[in-house]
Homo-oligomer: A and B are copies of this chain.
Amino acid sequence: MLTNERHDYILRMLEEKKTVKLQDLVEVTDASESTLRRDLTELESMGKLERVFGGAVLPGRNLQEPSMDDKSTRNLKEKKSIAEYAASFVQEGDSVFLDAGTTTLQMITFIKDKNPVVVTNGLPLAVALNEAGITTYLTGGMLKPRTGAFVGAGALAALGAYHFDICFLGVNGIHADYGYTTPDPEEAAVKKKAASHARKTYILADHSKVNKVSFATIINLQDAALIVDGVPAETLQEYNKITTVKVVEK
């Protein structure tokens, strides 16, 4: 069976069944496991499918879910590691700002025994903080449906009333030349203001954000430290010029 034939077959099978197992493909196509793995990898890089453990599924088929959930599944483990490491900087009784985002969300588990007072602009975070029994303040403001973040004049005004011992922000991209970037200007404004009211600011990012700069707003942050996972040493050199970098070990 030709390579293209296999590819077509896989895609047609996916269309039909929405999901396909590698072992089934082996039986039907008479190709080896290795070959079919390569097929799947290739088709994935073309965006035609999404690999999962044991096979593949149609891409983006949980787009029906709020976009937050999609993102939260991606790199979840890395995010948890980063969150745990970041949480180690929080001290007993600190006043903490947690940015809206999936990585900061993961931090809640790791800080709840430190009796922090937490301010956030994230709706899901407020829910989780409440459940965790943490003293919680929310900035308020206009709710962005896609991200569950509160932004706008209301959020900015509320931030003016607080001061934080420590502040944790998520970003969408990090680049040695452009610095930190995030797609939404309103969310960028909130991040900036939060950082300006904090004694110390940490930026959280998994490796997928490194050297990425999408259509985005640049956030100018002085004195912020960057926490990332699994980035090669030579890449780090570049960033050390512009910020303190802390790498999460596995």
Taking Cβ atoms with an 8 Å cutoff, the residues of A that contact B are 2-5, 19, 21, 45-48, 52-55, 57, 60, 63, 65, 68-69, 72-73, 76, 123-124, 126-127, 129-131, 133, 135-143, 145, 148, 150, 153-155, 157-158, 161
Known contacts A141-B140, A143-B137; A127 and B2 CB within 8 A of each other:
no
A4 proximity list for chain B (CB < 8 A)? 19, 52, 57
A155 proximity list for chain B (CB < 8 A)? 140
A124 proximity list for chain B (CB < 8 A)? 47
Known contacts A48-B65, A140-B140, A141-B140; A55 and B126 CB within 8 A of each other:
no
Q: Assess whether A143 is in contact with B123, with CB atoms less than 8 Å apart.
A: no
14 extra A-B contacts, CB within 8 A, seeds A4-B19, A48-B65, A157-B161: A2-B52, A3-B53, A46-B73, A47-B72, A48-B69, A63-B131, A123-B138, A126-B143, A130-B148, A137-B141, A138-B138, A140-B141, A140-B158, A157-B158
Minimum distance in angstroms from A51 CB to a CB of chain B = 11
Q: Assess whether B3 is in contact with A54, with CB atoms less than 8 Å apart.
A: yes
Task: Identify which of B21, B47, B158 contacts A69 (C-beta below 8 A).
Answer: B47
Q: Assess whether A136 is in contact with B143, with CB atoms less than 8 Å apart.
A: yes
Q: Assess whether A123 is in contact with B127, with CB atoms less than 8 Å apart.
A: yes
Known contacts A57-B4, A72-B46; A140 and B137 CB within 8 A of each other:
yes
17 residue pairs of the A-B complex, CB under 8 angstroms, read A2-B54, A2-B57, A3-B53, A4-B52, A5-B19, A48-B65, A63-B127, A130-B148, A133-B145, A135-B143, A137-B142, A138-B138, A139-B154, A140-B140, A157-B158, A157-B161, A158-B158
